[in-house]
Amino acid sequence: MYNPPHNNSNTQRLAERWNPGGIYMQAFVDFMNGIIWSPALIYLCLGAGLFYSILTRFVQVRMFGEMWRLLFSGKSSESGISSFQALAVSLSGRVGTGNIAGVAAAIGFGGPGAVFWMWVVAFLGAATAYSESTLAQIYKEEDEGQYRGGPAYYFEKALGQKWYAWLFAIATIIACGLMLPGVQSNSIGNAVATAFGTGTMIETGMGDLSSAKIMTGTVVVLILGFIIFGGVKRIAKFTEVVVPFMALAYIIIACVIIALNLEQLPGIIAMIFEDAFTPMAGMGAAIGWGVKRGVYSNEAGQGTGPHAAAAAEVEHPAQQGLVQAFSVYIDTLFVCSATAFMILITGAYNVHGAGDAFLVQNLAADAAANSPMFTQTAIESVLPGVGNPFVAFALFFFSFTTILAYYYIAETNVAYIQRTLKIPGLMMALKIAIMASTFYGAIKTANLAWGLGDVGVGLMAWLNIVGILMIFFMAKPAIKALKDYEAQRKAGVKHYTFDPVKLGIKNAHFWEKRSGNVSADKKEKETA
């Protein structure tokens, strides 16, 4: 979904010339990213996926049929959204510009073999997604008629570490509420300007701005405001229509291109597997870029998906965990694979080597690997006149729904903080801030915001993965929930139930109340 910048443009150099203080800030942010996004984080994500895959006995394979059944069986309620709506909300965050530009970057810097490692991290990450989303369901709360939950909630209740929960909440509000929306809207603005022209240049206090970008930013903010002021259910209703449509349309275009070049597909698949282990760009480059872009895209372990998972109305927490595990497959194995096949079949890619050298050069040297250019060129080569506008529309929907997901994630963490610290107007301030960030990002470039966004996302991933591993060694709630669900499924029950007290899971107050079996600790507090 999210991609770090590779910007060496004249605009960047001019900005540095007139703003020398920005050079030092950018250098500091780059330094922080070098620490946070070290190979350790990449392999932590991969290792956590393998760890939970083994512990769940590869639930992502064993329960695939059950995932599909659950996807369409759930219903919404006054307080919660359906499983499918929760899937759509989480997919709106997972399916983003990284599915277009991120895949291109993986191929451009890691070679075709990087696609294989994207598949690997998706397969293993599905188990991580199950675990974190099940935890979100177990420890969710009902707040002002809406279900709320996520890492901050399960860190407080499962770990008993409120400071750790607050640290995650603050990092998430900054990342998802302030930094990342502008980056996504910038992709929309640039895509529209590329496809339909920049329009006239208008002189403003912020410099000369493109009328096309101003109009695009205004339209995006108006639609965004209408939806976010409607609450999580309006977000869910919008995404459950838009996300499947945009993903399906994108996959159909990819299938058309693949069908027209079907004789090349076996050779392309063989090349991906061969290059995965004898990579032209080096083993480190193939694995590093493949895993990194896979993690960016499907977000398994980053702690973003659990927020939507907690909002779902389900009979048993494991049900939503299984649905969210399926979302990883949709994002990486379907959408990302569609992009990869289009690029590789048409040969619309370069592979960068050391320095300015190319290991493979099929396009002009200035074709940016970390941009939609590979994908646009691939579609244009088969369907002339379609590539640029189609990718522009795809980026609009991909990026816009990602902004909605960012808002919902930030809103959930603001609600968590307000449980303890009542600050009037904090939620309204968040709405205004995210709308302002979105508009600014659409009309201006924001290289520093890209870097700061990387810092925020990286911190979320570190905090969440370390946290869910600690929770496992303390109580194993997600594993207990899975075993309980499988036992009931084997018994052939018509309606599933979840009794956390019976399973030895503490502080799952929502489910204690629903099951009518309140823990002894809570009874003592209520009678005190």
H helices present in 56-141, as ranges: 59-62, 64-71, 83-94, 101-110, 113-138
504 shares a domain with 461: no
H helices present in 383-476, as ranges: 387-418, 426-443, 447-474
Residue 158 lies in a domain: no
pLDDT band for position 240 (50/70/90)? Answer: low
Alpha carbons 249 and 18: distance in angstroms, whole number: 44
Residue 219 lies in a domain: no
294 shares a domain with 359: yes
Residue 308 lies in a domain: yes
The pLDDT of residue 192 is 76
Segment 439-448 mean pLDDT: 68
245 shares a domain with 109: yes
Q: What radius of gyration, in Å, describes the C-alpha atoms of the chain?
A: 23
- Flag whether pLDDT at 196 surpasses 80: no
Residue 197 lies in a domain: no
Which range (77-81, 265-269, 409-413) has the least confidence? 77-81
255 shares a domain with 279: yes
Cβ proximity of 179 and 453 under 8 Å: yes
The total number of structural domains in the chain stands at 2
Please give the residue that has the higher pLDDT: either 79 or 229: 229
pLDDT band for position 11 (50/70/90)? Answer: very low
Average pLDDT, the chain: 80
- What residues pair up with 360 in beta bridges, in sequence order? 351
H helices present in 329-386, as ranges: 337-346, 373-382
Q: What is the DSSP letter of 312?
A: B
- Flag whether pLDDT at 9 surpasses 60: no
367 shares a domain with 237: yes
Residue 155 lies in a domain: no
Q: CB neighbours of 224 closer than 8 A, spacing ≥ 6?
A: 400, 403, 404, 407, 434, 435, 438
Alpha carbons 166 and 164: distance in angstroms, whole number: 5
Residue 177 lies in a domain: no
First to last CA, the chain: 48
Residue 120 lies in a domain: yes
pLDDT tens digits, 88-130: 666 666 666 677 777 888 888 888 999 998 898 889 989 999 9
- What residues pair up with 208 in beta bridges, in sequence order? 203
137 shares a domain with 278: yes
256 shares a domain with 124: yes
Q: CB neighbours of 190 closer than 8 A, spacing ≥ 6?
A: 213
453 shares a domain with 520: no
- Flag whether pLDDT at 153 surpasses 90: yes
528 shares a domain with 458: no
The pLDDT of residue 232 is 60
477 shares a domain with 508: no
Half-sphere exposure of 149 (CA within 13 A, CB side): 32
520 shares a domain with 374: no
- Domain extent at residue 27: 10-150+232-382+447-493
515 shares a domain with 481: no
Segment 387-403 mean pLDDT: 80
Alpha carbons 316 and 313: distance in angstroms, whole number: 9
